[in-house]
């Protein structure tokens, strides 16, 4: 990841990680969304 400033990337990574962890936590209670789809959406954004 070399796009944007180091700080911007760091903030993006932290925000994506937090959102991903929340999604994983909700998946454990109601596993009806495939993780691959969520992961693809996160990686493409």
pLDDT at 7 (0 to 100) = 80
pLDDT at 45 (0 to 100) = 63
Predicted confidence (pLDDT) per residue in 7-44, tens digit: 887 888 899 999 989 888 887 766 556 677 777 887 77
Task: Return the closest-CA partner of residue 12 out of 23, 21, 1.
Answer: 1
Single pTM value for the model: 0.40
pLDDT at 37 (0 to 100) = 78
What are the residues whose beta carbons fall under 8 Å from the beta carbon of 8, sequence distance 6 or more? none
If one compares 4 and 21, the residue with the highest pLDDT of the two is 21
> Measured between alpha carbons, how far is residue 10 from residues 7, 23, 32, 36 in Å?
5, 20, 30, 23
């Amino acid at each position: 990841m070399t796009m944007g400033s180091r700080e911007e990337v760091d903030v993006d990574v932290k925000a994506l990680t937090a959102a991903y962890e929340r999604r994983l936590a909700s998946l454990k209670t109601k596993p009806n969304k495939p993780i691959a789809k969520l992961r693809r959406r996160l990686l493409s954004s």
